[in-house]
Amino acid sequence: MNPVIVRRIRRADASVITRLGVAGVATVHEAMNRSGLMRPYMRPLYPAARVAGSAVTVLSHPGDNLMIHAAIDVCQQGDVLVVGLASDSTDGMFGELLAVSCRARGIAGLVIDAGVRDSAAIAEMQFPVWSKAISAQGTVKATPGSVNVPVVCAGALVRPGDVIVGDGDGVVVVPRDLAEDVAARSEQRMKREDATRERLANGELGMDIYGFRQKLEQLGVRYVDEE
Amino acid sequence: MNPVIVRRIRRADASVITRLGVAGVATVHEAMNRSGLMRPYMRPLYPAARVAGSAVTVLSHPGDNLMIHAAIDVCQQGDVLVVGLASDSTDGMFGELLAVSCRARGIAGLVIDAGVRDSAAIAEMQFPVWSKAISAQGTVKATPGSVNVPVVCAGALVRPGDVIVGDGDGVVVVPRDLAEDVAARSEQRMKREDATRERLANGELGMDIYGFRQKLEQLGVRYVDEE
Amino acid sequence: MNPVIVRRIRRADASVITRLGVAGVATVHEAMNRSGLMRPYMRPLYPAARVAGSAVTVLSHPGDNLMIHAAIDVCQQGDVLVVGLASDSTDGMFGELLAVSCRARGIAGLVIDAGVRDSAAIAEMQFPVWSKAISAQGTVKATPGSVNVPVVCAGALVRPGDVIVGDGDGVVVVPRDLAEDVAARSEQRMKREDATRERLANGELGMDIYGFRQKLEQLGVRYVDEE
Amino acid sequence: MNPVIVRRIRRADASVITRLGVAGVATVHEAMNRSGLMRPYMRPLYPAARVAGSAVTVLSHPGDNLMIHAAIDVCQQGDVLVVGLASDSTDGMFGELLAVSCRARGIAGLVIDAGVRDSAAIAEMQFPVWSKAISAQGTVKATPGSVNVPVVCAGALVRPGDVIVGDGDGVVVVPRDLAEDVAARSEQRMKREDATRERLANGELGMDIYGFRQKLEQLGVRYVDEE
Amino acid sequence: MNPVIVRRIRRADASVITRLGVAGVATVHEAMNRSGLMRPYMRPLYPAARVAGSAVTVLSHPGDNLMIHAAIDVCQQGDVLVVGLASDSTDGMFGELLAVSCRARGIAGLVIDAGVRDSAAIAEMQFPVWSKAISAQGTVKATPGSVNVPVVCAGALVRPGDVIVGDGDGVVVVPRDLAEDVAARSEQRMKREDATRERLANGELGMDIYGFRQKLEQLGVRYVDEE
Amino acid sequence: MNPVIVRRIRRADASVITRLGVAGVATVHEAMNRSGLMRPYMRPLYPAARVAGSAVTVLSHPGDNLMIHAAIDVCQQGDVLVVGLASDSTDGMFGELLAVSCRARGIAGLVIDAGVRDSAAIAEMQFPVWSKAISAQGTVKATPGSVNVPVVCAGALVRPGDVIVGDGDGVVVVPRDLAEDVAARSEQRMKREDATRERLANGELGMDIYGFRQKLEQLGVRYVDEE
């Protein structure tokens, strides 16, 4: 409730973070029983953007990016900035200069429930960003906020130190304590999917592989031959 | 009203479908007196996506992709899956494994009034998809629906066997019985546009080519020289 | 209130327009004390689109592109068409043929608070367009409107002859009389940013460069060491 | 595809229409296996609005209400006008004068996938209207359309003569041929709900009445005593 | 571009403002050849809200209501506050205390392209408000803006001293210099509509009164007897 | 991550809850330093709806209301059901029968990030509901979820036992441990506002009461006399 900056947070193991990044958003989300996904309006700034890292969270007033500066100060190499807002805004709270600063400090990426500007320059730098909008709308530095408190970003709860995975499918949040377990489940899932993929590529049908013919019958779906 | 899967549908002639695909969405839509277009929120997953094929329609509960599996089973080579929902949803009802299965069965593309996941993998496969959203949100397989009944997809009525044409401008639906006539009208239109394009490229104006100067006068639009 | 076409407008100096184009949308918007920006739903048709030119404004009835034809007739080399509507619409009021005509007349680009069609062809021509939507929805030529009157486009007021700057960050409008002053301020800003960029790239923090540590203290933001 | 006005349509039996109106939108929609519902953005102009009648359908160009006039001409006492558009619009295509005309002809109500104006006067007349928006935006009478062809309205397919039921929960469409069956199923459902309502009012739980405790167990939902 | 507060503005004649208020939004908008209307997302806080007055305009940073205080200071009895924002926001920039202050100063109403809070108290006071949202989201007083400069509010251009008319159909802006002419045209229109209303109430059709049968024929709309 | 129902939760003191309800949403939100507010799309089903109670939280799959039944089972007298969803949906997950059941069990209200149906009947019962939509769209009971875990509802984090306050301005969430402190701060705020209200009602200006004249000067806002 009162603005605070938390300097030190616990993070998941680096190797676990890497494994979650390899698995990707869709697989990790399924491995978490379909939880933790941000709303689909969060889109990468450029198609090849991919990231996995520990969340340093920022709670900002809309149209004010003062707290992003404060957050960069407490980030470690490999962290991902996650910015949530008290109310909806598309203002461009992050631009090229901040991206240069993040890169210099080893920050791995940005996830922001608002807008970003200097989109071409950031894409050229290949600094991974997921945002709600691209907007040149400038911001002020006038209102207090917090760093490293739990925030809601694009409909998902993010706690400091949670693992953030982002790719072309969006962004998923893995609670720090579950990270290792989710990594293991993601890898099992990928193995199972490899096997299924081969069968499907050979022309087998999901209907047969997963036993959906009986399910349809149980659900009362009737087959007819012609229109 | 009761869930049903129709196994056999009538389709338009393959050569007519090809001609409609060559004409493209904007031309076909004009040739149909500006009807049949899906709402513009339907966007291709990758810029070069293009498709023309016969609609196999799917009516699904939001967040449930069971009926897509059932529909793949009744598709023929060259068909386009068209998925409509009972209510709005952006959940990712279609992903890479289903795309592999579609490709293996010769299905030409997907048009879905919901989300898709594994967007990078599907784009790399060059499997043409038009959707409302990209979302990793996983789905269940628990509720009945129908295959090959009339559906509403993105504001357009689609009957099984209608011709679906998709490109960078969106998706248009051509009723099967009108397909040949629309193909012919599209080709006439393209010829007329070729002639107009040449005149415009040479600096003639639409104002003069189409006789709009008189029209403006009739409508009471007045010219003044300066601000 | 009554439909009118103004033939002659005053324009900013060509060299000033060029300088504003070099500065780009985000810088120009800041140099104007964060004013003049169109809403962020205005997006370029292709990523590399960039434009700077004098506004020829069009006020159209939704779904009717008659007045765009009238506006092309009064454009000069280097002008940018800016189309505002009386009410919201995504219909495709501009397509490839109009782009060919614009190119032939030396028009530099289009900004339209509605849709465009033939998106692939226009992108291939590299004719710069910013729009609210891509839609094949055809339009009629039946209702009067105005050319070169003040219009509202995507939330911004545009007067005939204002300088329009567009790039990947959106579109900003510079009042004609302020154009030279804004160009100068933009260039000063770019110089300052060059210096700041170098310091940030070397690992200095915005917190220190801009003196935000004191500001946070004044605002009552408290530091704590651990969660 | 070509504009047409169909003068005579078949309608459901008047007593069946009345029974569907008594059942109301939520019940009728359930009795149709949860199909036929328009999107929830369709809202009544005043809270007490209720209607049941046979659809006379209108397909209009956005911003043009010419075809509504044509449709009133072919309506019978008790019909409901259903207006679908080729593309999205909120323009006020219907106002007080048209409501007066509808009332004089015995038309029972209006369902329009666009805007209405003169909202206070229409509410005072108690003429039932469901619309997407309230907007004074005036319209033209310049473009052709159709009357009594199948239309899509707010995501639902409406065929001429289908039964339209509207209340505070929105609008549902009952295919004419199913109307009697749906009325009967609605009434059975209401009886069952009366019995359930009494049990719930007495403090019994849905968990016990519907047997959800076992279902939760089968689905793997675990109970724990404390946080 | 630089923040400024203009103390004195010219206003339309009080009797003209009254006449425009009597005519109401839909009529005034038509009398202006369908121009000047704000977007339909602007809704009255309570159904009976009605206002007509001279615009005192406010340009604010989103989430900051400092300039509304400054504007109240320069208002005269009967003025209407019109608040435009540099970017989209729904924050509650106006609440009961400000309404009390407005009432005490004789201000006639508020039109704000953002949110308001204390909705119940303001409705009870019968202080007329049109807004984009109802939101308790509190705001800061930290950033400069302007009073009595041209602003864009909900898609409409508003100049200081323009006449603002608001009712259940939304809000329309009448340029000060046209106010008298628009009032006269509105009254002529109301008279014509009174005559038409009577004919329609007696069962005559718009088709016949306006001569639409020939128009439909010219447009190629064909009549058929049966489906 | 795994579905779980927590039977017992801690709640705030009943008298504190009452005091927060008296203060209302706008005041409580300010007393929490402008945090805890749900997004403004959450609207009461009827204007007079007001509630204050302890949150029993529900995490549901969209279009499936099984877990609401499970939650009612663990509610105590005076609790408020708060339903969050894994992805966006407007389906009507709650209707009259559930409202009857809630009333019978003494549940004080419902806050749901989805739709409700039977809106007229629930309003007549005066059972307080805040929702994203009104929709008759029926739901299934097929997928697992959780009760009394932290959920995100309309952009706000809600933990079981947090105090929920709802009125015409929306819904605010007070963390249980802060409830007493927030109640006290709310009451202080109301006292201060009573004093300010009286001064404003007597014609004093916020400009003078809050000292904004100096602030404007510091911010560089310039006064000019005339346009």
- Does D32 lie at the interface with B, CB-CB under 8 angstroms? yes
Distance from CA of C141 to the nearest CA of D (A): 9
Half-sphere exposure of residue F107, counting CA atoms within 13 Å on the CB side? 30
pLDDT at residue D196 in the model: 97
What is the spatial distance between Cα B26 and Cα D145, in angstroms, rounded to a whole number?
19
pLDDT tens digits along D122-145: 999 999 999 999 999 989 999 999
Distance from CA of B170 to the nearest CA of D (A): 13
What is the spatial distance between Cα A40 and Cα A171, in angstroms, rounded to a whole number?
8
- Does A26 lie at the interface with B, CB-CB under 8 angstroms? yes
Contact between D9 and D148 under an 8 Å Cβ cutoff? The reply is yes
Contact between B99 and B125 under an 8 Å Cβ cutoff? The reply is yes
What is the spatial distance between Cα A141 and Cα E140, in angstroms, rounded to a whole number?
12
Question: E120 vs E115, E116, E126, F49, CA distance in Å?
Answer: 14, 11, 10, 11
ipTM: 0.95
**What is the full per-residue pLDDT of chain A (227 aa) written as tens digits?**
789 999 999 999 999 999 999 999 999 999 999 999 999 999 999 999 999 999 999 999 999 999 999 999 999 999 999 999 989 999 999 999 999 999 999 999 999 999 999 999 999 999 999 999 999 998 999 999 999 999 999 999 999 999 999 999 999 999 999 999 999 999 999 999 999 999 999 999 999 999 999 999 999 999 999 87
Look at residue E18 and tell me whether its pLDDT is greater than 90.
yes
- Does C143 lie at the interface with E, CB-CB under 8 angstroms? no
**Range F171-177 average pLDDT:** 98
For B75, the 3-state DSSP assignment is coil
What domain range includes position C27?
14-183
pLDDT at residue F182 in the model: 98
Chain E partners within 8 Å of C175 (Cβ): 1
- Does B73 lie at the interface with A, CB-CB under 8 angstroms? yes
Contact between C83 and C114 under an 8 Å Cβ cutoff? The reply is yes
Query: What are the residue ranges in chain B where pLDDT is below 50?
Result: none
pLDDT at residue F226 in the model: 81
**Range D176-191 average pLDDT:** 98
* Among F2, F133, F136, beta carbon nearest to D26: F136
Look at residue F1 and tell me whether its pLDDT is greater than 80.
no
Bridge partners, A8 (sequence order) = C226
Contact between D221 and F4 under an 8 Å Cβ cutoff? The reply is yes
What is the spatial distance between Cα F114 and Cα B88, in angstroms, rounded to a whole number?
11
Decide: pTM greater than 0.95: yes
Size of interface A-E (CB pairs under 8 A): 41
pLDDT at residue C1 in the model: 72
Contact between E92 and F26 under an 8 Å Cβ cutoff? The reply is yes
Into how many domains does chain A fold? 1
For C162, the 3-state DSSP assignment is coil
- Does C135 lie at the interface with D, CB-CB under 8 angstroms? yes
Enumerate helices (H) and strands (E) in chain A, giving the number of each: 8, 12
Chain F partners within 8 Å of A150 (Cβ): 157
Chain D partners within 8 Å of F176 (Cβ): none
Greater model confidence, D86 or F110: F110
| Interchain CB distance below 8 Å, F70 and D210 | no
Pair type for strands E129-134 and A170-174: unpaired
pLDDT tier at E226 (50, 70, 90 boundaries)? confident
For E173, the 3-state DSSP assignment is strand
In this structure, the number of other CB atoms found within 10 A of the CB of residue A223 comes to 14
Reading phi first (left if > 0) and then psi (alpha if -120 to 50, else beta), residue D173 is in: beta
Token pair of F116, please? 């409700």
Q: What is the CATH number of the domain that holds B85?
A: 3.50.30.40
What is the spatial distance between Cα D24 and Cα D32, in angstroms, rounded to a whole number?
12
* Among E97, E145, E160, beta carbon nearest to F196: E97
DSSP state of B34: S
Instruction: Kindly state whether residue E77 falls inside one of the protein's structural domains.
Output: yes
Distance from CA of E88 to the nearest CA of C (A): 8
Work out the end-to-end distance of chain C between its first and last CA atoms, rounded to an integer number of angstroms: 62
Amino acid identity of A54? S
Q: Which subunits have 3 or more CB–CB pairs within 8 Å of chain A? A: B, C, E, F
Which residue, chain included where needed, has tokens 């500001």? C215
pLDDT tens digits along E121-132: 999 999 999 999
* Among F1, F39, F156, beta carbon nearest to A32: F1
Instruction: Kindly state whether residue B121 falls inside one of the protein's structural domains.
Output: yes
What is the spatial distance between Cα A154 and Cα A110, in angstroms, rounded to a whole number?
13
pLDDT tier at E172 (50, 70, 90 boundaries)? very high
Top residue of B61, B90, B135 to mutate, by most chain F CBs within 10 Å, is B61
Distance from CA of F27 to the nearest CA of E (A): 8
DSSP string, chain F: ---EEEEE-----HHHHHHHHHH-HHHHHHHTTS--BPPTT-EESSTT--EEEEEEEEEE-TTB-HHHHHHHHH--TTEEEEEEESS----EEE-HHHHHHHHHTT--EEEEEEEE--HHHHHHHT--EEEEEE-----B--S--EESS-EEETTEEE-TT-EEEEETTEEEEE-GGGHHHHHHHHHHHHHHHHHHHHHHHTT--HHHHTTHHHHHHHTTPEEEEE-
Distance from CA of F1 to the nearest CA of A (A): 6
Look at residue C227 and tell me whether its pLDDT is greater than 80.
no
- Does D199 lie at the interface with F, CB-CB under 8 angstroms? no
Q: Cα A151 vs. chain centroid, distance in angstroms?
A: 13
Question: F73 vs A1, B8, B198, CA distance in Å?
Answer: 32, 48, 74
Interface of E with F in 46-65 (CB under 8 A): none
Instruction: Kindly state whether residue E191 falls inside one of the protein's structural domains.
Output: no
pLDDT at residue A1 in the model: 72
Instruction: Kindly state whether residue E218 falls inside one of the protein's structural domains.
Output: no
- Does E88 lie at the interface with A, CB-CB under 8 angstroms? yes
Chain F partners within 8 Å of A3 (Cβ): 33
Among C119, C157, C132, smallest CA distance to C42 is for: C132
Q: Nearest chain E Cα to F27, which residue? A: E136
| Interchain CB distance below 8 Å, E155 and C152 | yes
What contacts A154, CB < 8 A, 6 or more positions away? Answer: A38, A39, A41, A42, A111, A113, A132, A171
What is the spatial distance between Cα F59 and Cα A6, in angstroms, rounded to a whole number?
29
Chain D partners within 8 Å of B157 (Cβ): 150, 152, 157
Beta strand segments in C47-196, E: 51-60, 79-85, 92-94, 109-116, 129-134, 146-147, 151-153, 156-158, 163-167, 170-174
**Range E24-44 average pLDDT:** 97
Instruction: Kindly state whether residue F149 falls inside one of the protein's structural domains.
Output: yes
Top residue of B1, B33, B59, B64 to mutate, by most chain D CBs within 10 Å, is B1
Token pair of D132, please? 């997407």
| Interchain CB distance below 8 Å, C193 and A66 | no
Chain B partners within 8 Å of D37 (Cβ): 86-87
Token pair of F53, please? 């109670």
pLDDT at residue E1 in the model: 72
Top residue of C88, C137, C141 to mutate, by most chain D CBs within 10 Å, is C88
What is the spatial distance between Cα C27 and Cα C22, in angstroms, rounded to a whole number?
10
Look at residue E149 and tell me whether its pLDDT is greater than 80.
yes
Instruction: Kindly state whether residue A144 falls inside one of the protein's structural domains.
Output: yes
pLDDT at residue F154 in the model: 98
What is the spatial distance between Cα C83 and Cα C60, in angstroms, rounded to a whole number?
7
What is the spatial distance between Cα B34 and Cα B28, in angstroms, rounded to a whole number?
8
Instruction: Kindly state whether residue E213 falls inside one of the protein's structural domains.
Output: no
Instruction: Kindly state whether residue E167 falls inside one of the protein's structural domains.
Output: yes
What is the spatial distance between Cα D211 and Cα D200, in angstroms, rounded to a whole number?
14
What is the spatial distance between Cα B132 and Cα B83, in angstroms, rounded to a whole number?
11
What contacts E203, CB < 8 A, 6 or more positions away? Answer: D104, D105
- Does D101 lie at the interface with C, CB-CB under 8 angstroms? no
Q: Nearest chain A Cα to F181, which residue? A: A1
Top residue of B59, B65, B88, B132 to mutate, by most chain F CBs within 10 Å, is B88
Among C2, C111, C135, smallest CA distance to C57 is for: C111
Contact between C145 and C60 under an 8 Å Cβ cutoff? The reply is yes
Amino acid identity of A144? P
Amino acid identity of B19? R
Among A47, A4, A25, A7, smallest CA distance to A163 is for: A25
Look at residue D56 and tell me whether its pLDDT is greater than 80.
yes
Bridge partners, F131 (sequence order) = F43, F112
Pair type for strands F163-167 and F51-60: antiparallel
What is the spatial distance between Cα B217 and Cα E37, in angstroms, rounded to a whole number?
26
What contacts B83, CB < 8 A, 6 or more positions away? Answer: B57, B58, B60, B68, B71, B93, B94, B110, B111, B112, B113, B114, B151, B153
pLDDT tier at E16 (50, 70, 90 boundaries)? very high
Q: Nearest chain D Cα to B30, which residue? A: D1
